[in-house]
Structure 1
Amino acid sequence: MKVLVPVKRVVDYNVKVRVKPDQSGVELANVKMSMNPFDEIAVEEAVRLKEKGIATEVVVVSIGVQQSQETIRTALAMGADRGILVTTDVAVEPLGVAKLLAKIAAEEAPQLVILGKQAIDDDSNQTGQMLAALLGWAQGTFASKVEPSGDKVTVTREVDGGLETVSLKLPAVVTTDLRLNEPRYASLPNIMKAKSKPIATKTPDDYGIDVAPRLTTVKVAEPAKRSAGIKVKTVDELISNLKNAGVIA
């Protein structure tokens, strides 16, 4: 079984995001970047499937600027076999990403595509679903457990009411949730080995895909600051304050 894992380069989750002075977007200059946390979970799951002897090859793909190669190297250090980098300076939207991944999937012919349910920069939560629709494959989203067996994969999904288990016929698309696994730290020897693993470099034109943005960002602003709370001594005082604030009648 070949597994394809898309990964995205995003602002590190530990970094406090700052809005540009002209409010055109988020400040990315001199900001620490890393792999999207949900994609780390996807890579870890693919590597675990390989360690169990279920997956024979793990291929990582990233779409973005040239520096996204570092993100692929991180995945290779975790245990992936090779990478594909589709370079573009355009901020590719979910539909563009899904179209590119569909072309790559047609070339690579994986039996399973595992990707994060969403990226922490735009929170779109669209790419996996769009990819499954374009390919005409079954999909299991928000996975907390993935169990391939034969020509099927059983996916336990996290839904509002609890857990839902679905059986998908391969090939399939699976998007990962937080509780699927705990991603490993890449060891120094594996980081060194990753430097020699192959990464193919492509462009959107190689796949005949137009990734020009269809949406325009009008304005980006920080959330309004919350006013300070107050302390009350009695329940009557609390109720009085809530009535004055119009919270209760």
Structure 2
Amino acid sequence: MRRFIPALLFVVLSVCACAGVTSSTTSSDAPLPTIGLGSDVGEADPIGGGVDFQMVGTNEIDTVIMVGDSITVASTPQLEEMFERFGFDSVFIESKQGKRIALSFGSNPSGVEVAEDLIKKMHAADDTKGEGAAEDPFDHSNELWVVALGTNDIGQYSGPGESATAVDEMLQAVPDESPLVWVDTFFRDRPDATAELNVIIRNLVSQRDASVIASWSAVADDDGNLRNDGVHPREQGSVVFANVTGNAIANFLQLT
């Protein structure tokens, strides 16, 4: 039986036009203002996009854990449909506007904190099973992790070293034995900072076993995908975002 749990361990997003991308200030101890949205939502158009992947052996995946920001918030219905089509038994999506990779503020925990908290809850649940439980109750090899973070981190650090530290913290938070798909970032008005962060994400993810990049940046700015702010997807863009993520997963896990 498939389970979509949109609001507990991993709250997945209210589909809201108010997504969150932060301003260029470098403050790290307070939430940053969000960009307002304009323009009408475009028509859905189920087109795919460019995907970079490293082929791995078939995995027996029964749980998907996705952590994202406002881009995921806007694309949740399309993502849920994609995950259901693949037949995953359990899907947990945690996303919120303004979510950062490794910085928590107020009621918005970082991706790192979200991952750590969920793993603790999973382990606590395994501890209650008693006799008859799996031989290794803390084995996460049956989980696929999808990280779609970084947009709110673009241009927020003093240099690439700080960006790399944040990305590395997220990679450390994901269980070593779990396959990982990281969806990269796009911010039209900050091309240099976006490219810098995507290079860092790509380089660090490539050093992790069983990991792959889904290249949202390759198709995000195609005609009709984004709202006027150059960050948040229209309805068509949400379909494309889900397709990019799904194509990466399908190729990565040999689901097709």
TM-score range with shorter-chain normalisation?
0.3 to 0.5
TM-score normalised by structure 1 residue count: 0.34
The structure with the greater share of residues assigned to strand is 1
Q: Which has the higher contact order (CA 8 A, sep 6+)?
A: 2
The structure with the greater share of residues assigned to helix is 2
